[in-house]
Amino acid sequence: MDLIRLWKSVLAEIELSVSKATYHTHFAHSELISLDGEVASVGFPSPIMRTLAETRYYSLIKSIIDHKTGGNVSLVFLVLPKKETGEKNPGPLFTQVFESEPNTVMRARRLHINPDLTFDNYAVSTTNQLAYAAATAVSKTIGLAYNPLFLYGGVGVGKTHLMYAIANSLLIAKPSLRVVYCMGEEFLNDIIEAIQTKTARQFKQKYRGAELLMVDDVQFIAGKQTAQEEFFHTFNAVLREGGQVLLTSDRPPHEIARLEDRLRSRFEGGLIVDISPPDFELRAAIVNIKAKALGLTVPNDSAQIIAANVVDARAIEGFLRRLTTEMATKPQPITPELVSSLLNTKSAVMGQTKTTKRVTPQELLEAVSTYFDIKPTLLKGPKRDRPIARPRQVYMYLSKIELGLTYEDIGGSLGGRDHTTVMHGVETITQELSTNESLRSAVTGIKQKLWAQQ
C-alpha cells in the first residue's frame, strides 16, 4: 500500500472535519511513517502536536484510516526527527566503537537477552495491545517514539518479553547497536563494585554510552541514594545523545515508594503503559505458542482447561514443561483428563487438594448453593443480580476445572445458558482468584467440603 497516497487521502478527510487553522497548524506537516499489520505509526513535527493528536484526535484519525484500509488499526504517534545540517559531535563518553557482530543471536545471549522472545511469538489481546503497539513503534524509530517507555504490571504479564523483543528487533536491524540490559538490582551491584574497585569511569562508559538502555524491575533502585543519583545522570546522558530508555516495574512511578521526585518526573515524561493480567483468550493463545516452542501439540479442549486454571504466562510455560516431562516418561495422548489431573496435583497455590472422589454436577450445584445460602433453582434461573451471579460463576469455574465438563454441558446444567456465558464466568473467577481473598476462601471451602478425605 502506498503510504504517501493513503495519508493524503486521510488528510483530505481530516481537513473537512476540523477548522482550517487547526488543520494547517497540527496536521499539514504530519506523515504516515508505517502501516505494519494493524499498527499505524503517524509522525508529527513536535511533541506538542503529537500529544494533541493523541489526546484529541485519536478517534477521528483511527476512524478515517479504518475506513480507508478496511481494518481495525491501532495508532502510534511519534515525533518526526529534525533534519540536521551539521555533523553531530558525540562527546567523550560516546566515542567507543562497537564492531559489527554477524551472529545476532550470540550477541543477544552475551547481552543477557533471550533471542527466542520476539514480536512474532508475543500473543496480543486487549490487555496488552497498547504496550505491544508502543513497543513496535520504539523498535522502528529508536529514541524518537516514546522515550522513556515505562511498562508496568504483575508477574508474568509479558513486560520482559516486550523488552527483549525490542532489543532483538533492533539488533537484527543494527547488529553494532550499543545495548545495555540489566535488572535494577544489577545496576545497584555494578555501582557498588565500581566504587570498591575504583572503576567508576568504566561504569559510566558502559551505561552512559548505551544507545538502548533497558532496566528491568527499576523499582529496586528506589531508596538507594547513590544508585538513584547515578541513574539520574545516566538517564539524562542517554536521552541527551538520542538513545532510548526502556524501563519495567511492578507498579507505576507514582506508586514506587522512596523514588526521588526528579526520577519520578523523568519516568513520567515518556509513555507509561499498564499491562493487565492476560484474559482467557490471550492465555489460550499463550498455551498454543509456548506448546509449539516445546514441540507439543495440545488439543483445544485441553488448552482451554490450562488457560482457565493457570493465571500467567510464566506459570503456563512451567506447566507445559511439566507436561513435556510427563509425556517423555509416559507417552500418551494429551487429554483433558491428563491435564486436569496434573493441574490438581500442582495447585497448592490456591489451597487445592488432589481430587480423589467423583463428584456429580448436581452435588457441586448443591454445595455451591449451600455455601452461598441460596436455592439451587436460583442458580439455574434467569436472574443476574450479583448475589446470584457470583455463586453461578463459581459453579461454572468448579465445573470446568474440577469436573472437566464442557462449556456446553455446564450451560445445560444451568438452564440452557450459552457456552460463551459460561466461558466468561470461568474466566472472571480465574482472574479474580489471584487477588480476591474472600473468593479464594469460598472456592477452597466448597472444594474441601466436596473432596474432604473420607
Among the listed ranges 13-17, 133-137, 259-263, which one has the minimum average pLDDT value? 13-17
| Ordered DSSP codes for 31-51 | EEEEEETTEEEEEESSHHHHH
Residue 25 has pLDDT above 80, yes or no: no
pLDDT band at 152 (very low <50, low <70, confident <90, very high): very high
List, in sequence order, the alpha helices (H) in 294-385: 300-309, 313-329, 336-346, 361-372, 376-380
pLDDT at 52 over 90: no
The H-or-E segment that residue 216 falls in is strand 212-216
Q: What is the mean pLDDT of residues 161-190?
A: 91
Highest mean pLDDT among 154-158, 311-315, 370-374: 370-374
Cβ proximity of 289 and 283 under 8 Å? no
Alpha-helical runs (H) found in 142-257: 159-173, 184-197, 200-208, 225-240
Q: Please tell me which residue, 142 or 309, carries the higher pLDDT value.
A: 142
Q: Is the pLDDT of residue 165 over 60?
A: yes
The better pLDDT of the pair 298, 454 is held by: 298
Q: How far is CA 218 from the centre of its chain?
A: 17
Q: What does the pLDDT average to over 162-166?
A: 95
Domains and CATH numbers, the chain: 3-79 (3.30.300.180), 101-274 (3.40.50.300), 280-350 (1.10.8), 361-450 (1.10.1750.10)
Q: What does the pLDDT read at residue 131?
A: 92
Position 23 scores a pLDDT of 77
Cα(319)–Cα(424) distance, integer angstroms: 23
pLDDT digits (tens, 9 = 90+) for 200-232: 889 999 999 999 999 999 999 999 999 999 999
Q: What is the mean pLDDT of the chain?
A: 83
Res 21: pLDDT: 65
What distance in Å separates the CA atoms of residue 321 and residue 373, rounded to the nearest whole number? 41
Q: What are phi and psi of 177, to 5 degrees?
A: -55, 135
Q: Does pTM surpass 0.85?
A: no
Give residue 435's identity as a one-letter amino acid code: T
Question: How confident is the model over 409-441, as pLDDT tens digits?
Answer: 898 889 888 888 888 888 788 777 756 777 877
Instruction: Say if residue 444's pLDDT is above 90.
Output: no
Residue pair 74/61 in contact (Cβ under 8 Å)? The answer is no
Residue-wise pLDDT tens digits, 66-93: 888 888 888 888 888 765 544 444 333 3
The three grid cell numbers given for residue 24, joined into one nine-digit string? 494547517
Q: Output the pLDDT for position 196.
A: 86
Name the nearest CA neighbour of 312 among 438, 443, 164, 431. Answer: 431
